[in-house]
């Protein structure tokens, strides 16, 4: 019942994900961070098989770092998205990863952008998107309330609306969510939405 969703606002992009790590009927932890900081101005929200998610996202993160070390400049969001898609596509017919990804980034000349990359390496630039069972609720909420150029307050309000829908309408809904944003000042954690405190 994992869920990742995100949207693009006015000069920023926000990605939210649930934070439960589940195996069959057991919840291992409920504060697992599934939105990774790819570099100073990129976020990678991933959902899917636990091992693949951790391994693949770390692999992408390290390769993005390597590019920056080698070339002295960071990758653009589009380049990082295409690199990620390329890795998924190459592995698809050999040893496929079961990871769905939302990649958000901020580039100085382009502004914020959000990329949808599904587990079979379909890449598309989007304004709003979601993965998982929660997507059935999130996408509908966003279709109703989203407009381009939303302010941060409006966007977080919409994210909270989506989280409320998931909590109330999804059976075995994840209790906790993490919200991260990326704008001209960089990528950072914005807030947690916890209904179960864990130690």
Partner 1 sequence: MSIFEYNGSALVAMVGKNCFAIASDRRLGVQLQTIATDFQRVYKIHDKLYVGLSGLATDAQTLHQRLVFRHKLYQLREERDMKPETFASLVSALLYEKRFGPYFCQPVIAGLGDDDVPFICTMDCLGAKELAKDFVVSGTASESLYGACESMYKPNMEPDELFETISQALLASVDRDCLSGWGGYVLLVTPTEVQEKILKGRMD
- Return the residues of window 123-142 that contact partner 1 according to CB under 8 A: 123-124, 126, 129, 135-136, 139
Nearer to partner 1, 92 or 172 (CB): 92
* Separation between Cα atoms, residue 145 and residue 140, nearest integer Å: 9
Residue 149 Cβ, how far from partner 1 at the closest point, in Å? Answer: 17
DSSP strands (E only) in 19-155: 21-23, 26-29, 35-39, 42-48, 99-107, 111-117, 123-126, 128-132
Binding-site size for partner 1 (CB under 8 A) equals 16
- Return the residues of window 76-105 that contact partner 1 according to CB under 8 A: 85, 89, 92-93
Nearer to partner 1, 49 or 118 (CB): 118
Cα separations in angstroms, 148 against 9, 10, 72, 85, 116 = 6, 7, 33, 26, 17
DSSP strands (E only) in 80-142: 99-107, 111-117, 123-126, 128-132
Nearer to partner 1, 55 or 122 (CB): 122
* Separation between Cα atoms, residue 170 and residue 62, nearest integer Å: 35
For position 13 contacting partner 1 by CB under 8 A, the verdict is no
For position 120 contacting partner 1 by CB under 8 A, the verdict is yes
For position 188 contacting partner 1 by CB under 8 A, the verdict is no
* Separation between Cα atoms, residue 28 and residue 23, nearest integer Å: 7
Q: Which residues pair with 4 in a beta bridge?
A: 17, 131
Residue 48 Cβ, how far from partner 1 at the closest point, in Å? Answer: 14
Q: CB of 45 within 8 A of CB of 4?
A: yes
Nearer to partner 1, 1 or 89 (CB): 89
Nearer to partner 1, 138 or 156 (CB): 138
Which positions touch partner 1 (CB under 8 A)?
A: 85, 89, 92-93, 116, 118, 120-124, 126, 129, 135-136, 139
């Amino acid at each position: 019942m994992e869920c990742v969703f995100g949207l693009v606002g006015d000069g920023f992009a926000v990605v939210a994900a649930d934070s439960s790590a589940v195996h069959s009927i057991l919840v291992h932890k409920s504060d697992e961070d599934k939105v990774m900081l790819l570099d100073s101005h990129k976020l990678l929200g991933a959902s899917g098989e636990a091992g693949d998610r951790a391994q693949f996202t770390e692999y992408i993160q390290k390769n993005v770092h390597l590019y920056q070390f080698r070339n002295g400049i960071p990758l653009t969001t589009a380049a990082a998205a295409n690199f990620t898609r390329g890795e998924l596509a190459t592995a698809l017919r050999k040893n496929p990863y079961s990871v769905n990804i939302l990649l958000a980034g901020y580039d100085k000349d382009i502004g914020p952008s959000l990329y949808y990359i599904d587990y079979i390496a379909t890449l598309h630039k989007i304004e709003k998107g979601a993965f998982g069972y929660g997507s059935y609720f999130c996408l509908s909420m966003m279709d109703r309330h989203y407009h381009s150029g939303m302010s941060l307050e409006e966007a977080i309000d919409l994210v909270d609306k989506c989280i409320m829908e998931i909590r109330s309408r999804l059976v075995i809904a994840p209790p906790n969510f993490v919200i991260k944003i990326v704008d001209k000042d960089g990528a950072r954690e914005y807030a947690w939405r916890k209904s179960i405190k864990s130690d």
